[in-house]
Amino acid sequence: MTLPDQKPLETPASAALLEKAERGERLNHAEITALYSLPLPDVAAVAHHLRLQRSAPDTATFLIDRNINYTNICNVGCNFCAFYRTPRQKDSYTLDYDAISAKITELEAVGGTRILMQGGVNPALGLEYYTGLLRHIKAHHPSIRIEAFSPEEVLFMEKTFGLSLDALLDTLIEAGLDGLPGAGGEILEDDVRAKAAPARIRSNDWFRILDAAQAKGLYTISTMVIGFGESFEQRASHLLKIRDQQDRALALYGNGFSGFAMWTLQTENTRLAGKAPGASAHEYLQQLAIARIALDNVPNIQASWPAQGFKVAQAALYYGASDLGSTMLEENVVSAAGNHHRHNATVRELVRIAHDAGFRPAIRNSRFQILEYPDVDIYLGTGANATLEEERAVGAG
Ligand code: SF4
Question: Model-level pTM?
Answer: 0.92
Burial of 124 (0-12, 13-18, 19+ CB in 10 A): exposed
**Residue 91, φ and ψ in degrees, nearest 5:** -95, 20
Instruction: Using the atom order of ligand 1, give the atom closest to the CA of residue 150.
Output: 2
What percent of the chain is predicted at pLDDT more than 70?
A: 90
C-alpha span between 395 and 397 (Å, rounded)? 5
Ligand 1 pocket: which residues have CB below 6 Å? 74, 76-78, 81, 83-84, 120-121, 152
Domains belonging to the chain, first-starting first, are: 40-360 (3.20.20.70)
The confidence score (pLDDT) of residue 384 equals 45
Reported as a single tens digit per residue, the pLDDT across 134-170 is 999 999 999 999 999 999 999 999 999 999 999 999 9
Instruction: Using the atom order of ligand 1, give the atom closest to the CA of residue 72.
Output: 7
Reported as a single tens digit per residue, the pLDDT across 193-232 is 999 999 999 999 999 999 999 999 999 999 999 999 999 9
Q: How far is the CA of 74 from the centre of ligand 1 (A)?
A: 6
Return all residues near 249 (Cβ < 8 A) that are at least 6 apart: 211, 214, 215, 255, 256, 257
C-alpha span between 41 and 260 (Å, rounded)? 22
The confidence score (pLDDT) of residue 329 equals 78
Vertex 34 angle, CA 233 and 325, to 5°: 70
Reported as a single tens digit per residue, the pLDDT across 310-363 is 999 999 999 999 999 998 876 555 556 555 555 688 899 999 999 999 999 999
395: left (phi over 0), alpha (psi -120 to 50) or beta: left
Could you list the residues known to form a binding site, using ranges: 74, 78, 80-81, 150, 186, 304, 326
What pairing do the DSSP bridges indicate for beta strands 370-372 and 360-364?
Answer: antiparallel
Q: How far is the CA of 270 from the centre of ligand 1 (A)?
A: 11
318: left (phi over 0), alpha (psi -120 to 50) or beta: alpha
Reported as a single tens digit per residue, the pLDDT across 225-265 is 999 999 999 999 999 999 999 999 999 999 999 999 999 99
Reported as a single tens digit per residue, the pLDDT across 98-109 is 999 999 999 999
Residue, of 189 and 110, whose pLDDT is higher = 189
pLDDT band at 11 (very low <50, low <70, confident <90, very high): confident
Return all residues near 252 (Cβ < 8 A) that are at least 6 apart: 215
Residue 392 has pLDDT above 80, yes or no: no
